[in-house]
Structure 1
Amino acid sequence: MPQDLSRNANRFVTFTVFFTARAYYPVLAILFIDLGLTLDQFVMLNLIWALTIFLFEVPSGALADTIGRRTLLMTASVLMVIEMLCLLIAPRDGGMLLLIMCVINRICSGLSEACASGADEALAYDSLPPENRASAWDHLLAHAMRWRSVGFVLAMIIGGVLYDADTINSILPASFHISSETAHRLPVLLVLMQALACLFITWRMVEPVHAAAGSTLSHAFHLTLSTARWVFTNPKTLVVILIGVALDSIVRNFATITSSYYRLIDLPEWTYGFFGAAMGLLGWFVPGIAKQLNARFGMLANLGLVAVMTLIGLVVLVPAWPIYGVVPTLFLMMMMGFLGFTVSRVLHEEADSSRRATVLSVKGLIFNLGYGLFSLGFSGLLASFPDTPEGAALRSALLWQVPFFVAVILGLFSWAFFKLRSYRVSKG
């Protein structure tokens, strides 16, 4: 009896919305800081998160290609539940216990990301009809990105409002007023409910048959090694991943400290969610633009466009203009969406079904390793500058990351140009 895979596409879209559009994102940095951590500790926690993904990203992808993508997605959902519970019960100003709970949170978050990364897209891609699958995937990916944008709009507004006790109390009767500490846990509680929804959605998914399904763990190990070798010997995948990680790491690091930057530019806390929603709203238009540009221009041209636009955004961040400094923040988040579409499109075109999740996991591993290393360097920058007056260290770190970015990007694009040219010549 043939499998009914027709509902997997919609389940993939719903899962990716609930899994990625989290209500605590607009207050991510200050959530940990208000619990009692320093900004340096928060950045180091994100390094732990990235290292966890680094260790488990590729093994989880190989497991997804062998024991099943649905199994890995259900595991990711369970880990997301544990991750949220840690933040809910972590004691405010709890010293070492607080730090331990936050470390557990970051480890579970990293494991969850590693399990979901690649497995969700691989399951959805192989669920599409074989005829015109590449074109159908472009449509589904754009559809998923648009709905993620809608999810972000709602999550950012709700999360930002829930975090501000004054805003909540202004609409509640006096007898129902809540403390700031209680308000700070509400976005986390909402994401816990999203995690439970993810678990239900993944339980309802149907595992598509693919070439490596049902293989042994030994095969998973060999698949990991052969796929990593293939990624690094295929010129297109090598170029898109190395340039992609250079662009992604610097923007994603800034994305994690966005709420600290908002404080620096004097934005009221209740507005954080609305600006996060604006990012989601702008993100609605990114997939359509990215789809057209990728259809019209080559991979390197699209990556070059992202690089130039990212540089402009990073430069305009440096003055930290009060209120108006939010504009380059929105711009940079749009570039992340454009980059994600381009990288995903290239990898799905190049990879075959038997190793699709593993290829995406190799990409995720490299991206998160790059993010972790950049976070470590950025943390060192923050610690090396005096933070007097308040925010001076962040201003200095934002300035010094610009020449670093320029040097790395110029080097990578020069290498990529000659690498791809020699590859085309060798193919005749």
Structure 2
Amino acid sequence: MLPPSSRSGLERNASLYPLYASLFAADFWLPVFFLYFSESLSLEAAILLESIYFAAVFLLEIPSGYFSDVIGRRITLVIAAATTALAYGLFFFATTFWQFALAQILLAGGIAFNRGTDVSFHFDTLASLEREEEFAPREALVARNTFAASAIASLGGGVIGWFSLSWAYAASLLAALGALLIALRFTEPAAHERPASYSRDFAKQIGRSLAHLRDPALAWIFLFSIFWVVLNHIPYEFYQPYIRLVEAKEGWSGRSTPLVAGLSSAGAMLVGAFVAARSTKLCQRIGTAPTMLISLVIQGAIIGVMSLMLDAWVVVMLFFRVVPRALATAPINVAVAPRVEQSLRATYLSLQSLVGRLAVSGVLAGLWLLPKDHSASTWDSLSVMLRAASVIAVVGLGLLLPTAGLARIDRAE
């Protein structure tokens, strides 16, 4: 039995974690980041900044998961929030390419240290309190809250960006500082018994994590996550250029782009919050694999429509671009966390995330090479890239649909 002081700290974890997750997700910069980069830098430099971000993720994703498993969840989340706050402060003052690049590296570090550790911290806290049965509904609630926080931040960022793009990063800085204050109040969850084969050796930790792919359910989810992450990034990367092209076609004022992007992001996140709250219930009704596959079908359809027509009503349709992420985020966490032991969980989740983001980096590089002008500044170029992304969706479904039954994700543990 836990002593009263330890139980009190863990109860505080459970109570404060949803607020931490919401503040960390309050990305006021999201609807204006590409516009902000383009304001100070060339289009080529703005695209290079995205490549720098993904390269930093590549270097930091797995070490951050290893750090969490070996050193602790609480300190990892403190580092995540502090690094993210530093990134936003630097973005606010940045004027040169190298200042933006350093900010991108810090942002990648903050997100990498948070990703995987947040889910592991949540599950470990509930496990220490012997409340594991609450994990699924609480993950759905956390997902709903983070989407709602993103909606509010996106709307706020769009309004702020109407006046000044840089001040959207100042608002994100305040949210990150709030997340940092909460992380400092967390208590480290109780460490479970280490397996006899446990080692702090980094290579062995990676090898033991990858060994879990012998589990058909984890292997299928791993493959799904690659296509899911790639397809979720396509509308995210291209909706701002798409809105600009619609504005040019319709004769709207170019100054309205931050506000339109903010409204689009806010609407998408609100739809996402509604769907996320119901995602685990849908899994219970139709199964985890069907729920995940539905998310891919939806995103593939959205990308397909974007590739075929440039129209104002498609901007409204983009409100649903977050639905696939909302549908599958909690189900993935709920399916993976109990299947991976505490000493490997953050490392495994970081590996899963890293492979997906490496795929995103490769796909984006390939897409930018397709048009002759290597940009999304014209409709011809953008539509070529989006049509290629639609093919990726078809390939993903072709691989995942026939193998879903073999995964047996919902079998009794």
TM bucket normalised to smaller: 0.7 to 0.9
How far, CA to CA, are the matches of 1:338 and 1:132 in structure 2? 27
- Among 89, 96, 105, which residue is 1:85 paired with? 89
Q: Which residue of 2 aligns with 1:179?
A: none
Aligned 1:124-135 pairs, distance under 5 A: 124-128=122-126, 133-135=131-133
Q: Which residue of 1 aligns with 2:181?
A: 200
Given that 2:32 and 2:165 are in contact with CA atoms closer than 8 Å, whether structure 1 keeps it comes out as no
Given that 1:61 and 1:119 are in contact with CA atoms closer than 8 Å, whether structure 2 keeps it comes out as yes
**TM-fit CA distance, 1:360:** 1.6
Distance change >3 Å, CA 408–CA 334, structure 1 → 2: closer
**Partner amino acid, structure 1, of 2:60:** F
Report Cα offsets for 1:125-150 as digits up to 9, x if no partner.
11115677443011211111121122
How far, CA to CA, are the matches of 1:386 and 1:184 in structure 2? 22
Distance change >3 Å, CA 16–CA 417, structure 1 → 2: closer
How far, CA to CA, are the matches of 2:162 and 2:242 in structure 1? 17
Distance change >3 Å, CA 384–CA 133, structure 1 → 2: farther
Given that 2:126 and 2:132 are in contact with CA atoms closer than 8 Å, whether structure 1 keeps it comes out as no
Distance change >3 Å, CA 208–CA 345, structure 1 → 2: same
**Partner amino acid, structure 1, of 2:74:** R
Q: Which residue of 1 aligns with 2:149?
A: 151
Report Cα offsets for 1:91-129 as digits up to 9, x if no partner.
1xxxxxx22122212211111111111111211211115
Q: Which residue of 1 aligns with 2:331?
A: 342
1:326 aligns with 2:330: no
**Partner amino acid, structure 2, of 1:420:** A
**TM-fit CA distance, 1:80:** 0.8
- Among 213, 227, 239, which residue is 1:246 paired with? 227
**TM-fit CA distance, 1:419:** 5.0
Q: Which residue of 1 aligns with 2:54?
A: 50
1:27 aligns with 2:27: no
**Partner amino acid, structure 2, of 1:197:** G
- Among 374, 377, 390, which residue is 1:402 paired with? 390
What is the percent sequence identity of the aligned residues?
A: 21
Distance change >3 Å, CA 208–CA 404, structure 1 → 2: closer
**TM-fit CA distance, 1:41:** 3.5
**TM-fit CA distance, 1:151:** 1.0
**Partner amino acid, structure 2, of 1:373:** G
Q: Which residue of 2 aligns with 1:15?
A: 20
- Among 357, 372, 380, which residue is 1:368 paired with? 357
**TM-fit CA distance, 1:187:** 0.3
How far, CA to CA, are the matches of 1:51 and 1:413 in structure 2? 31
Distance change >3 Å, CA 288–CA 81, structure 1 → 2: closer
Report Cα offsets for 1:386-406 as digits up to 9, x if no partner.
878x44321221122212331
How far, CA to CA, are the matches of 1:278 and 1:62 in structure 2? 36
**Partner amino acid, structure 2, of 1:54:** F
How far, CA to CA, are the matches of 1:273 and 1:235 in structure 2? 41
Superposition CA RMSD, Å: 2.7
Q: What runs of 5+ residues in structure 1 fail to find an aligned partner?
A: 92-97, 166-182
**TM-fit CA distance, 1:202:** 0.7
Given that 2:144 and 2:274 are in contact with CA atoms closer than 8 Å, whether structure 1 keeps it comes out as yes
Q: Which residue of 2 aligns with 1:105?
A: 103
Distance change >3 Å, CA 120–CA 407, structure 1 → 2: closer
**Partner amino acid, structure 1, of 2:114:** A
Distance change >3 Å, CA 35–CA 307, structure 1 → 2: same
Report Cα offsets for 1:228-283 as digits up to 9, x if no partner.
32232221111111112112212213213322221122273222212211112112
How far, CA to CA, are the matches of 1:382 and 1:103 in structure 2? 26
Distance change >3 Å, CA 315–CA 238, structure 1 → 2: same
How far, CA to CA, are the matches of 2:243 and 2:175 in structure 1? 26
**TM-fit CA distance, 1:25:** 0.5
Distance change >3 Å, CA 385–CA 110, structure 1 → 2: closer
SS of 2:200's partner is helix
**TM-fit CA distance, 1:222:** 5.0
Distance change >3 Å, CA 387–CA 271, structure 1 → 2: closer
**Partner amino acid, structure 1, of 2:154:** M
SS of 2:189's partner is coil
Q: What runs of 5+ residues in structure 2 fail to find an aligned partner?
A: none
Which deviates further from its counterpart, 365-374 or 65-74?
365-374
Q: Which residue of 2 aligns with 1:210?
A: 191
Distance change >3 Å, CA 47–CA 412, structure 1 → 2: farther
Given that 1:265 and 1:325 are in contact with CA atoms closer than 8 Å, whether structure 2 keeps it comes out as no
**TM-fit CA distance, 1:223:** 5.3
- Among 189, 213, 216, which residue is 1:232 paired with? 213
Given that 1:317 and 1:328 are in contact with CA atoms closer than 8 Å, whether structure 2 keeps it comes out as no
**Partner amino acid, structure 1, of 2:398:** L
Given that 2:279 and 2:327 are in contact with CA atoms closer than 8 Å, whether structure 1 keeps it comes out as yes
1:420 aligns with 2:401: no
**Partner amino acid, structure 2, of 1:311:** G
How far, CA to CA, are the matches of 1:34 and 1:54 in structure 2? 27
Distance change >3 Å, CA 346–CA 378, structure 1 → 2: same
Given that 1:9 and 1:140 are in contact with CA atoms closer than 8 Å, whether structure 2 keeps it comes out as no
SS of 1:265's partner is helix
Given that 1:265 and 1:320 are in contact with CA atoms closer than 8 Å, whether structure 2 keeps it comes out as no
How far, CA to CA, are the matches of 1:24 and 1:90 in structure 2? 14
Given that 1:43 and 1:379 are in contact with CA atoms closer than 8 Å, whether structure 2 keeps it comes out as no
How far, CA to CA, are the matches of 1:55 and 1:212 in structure 2? 30
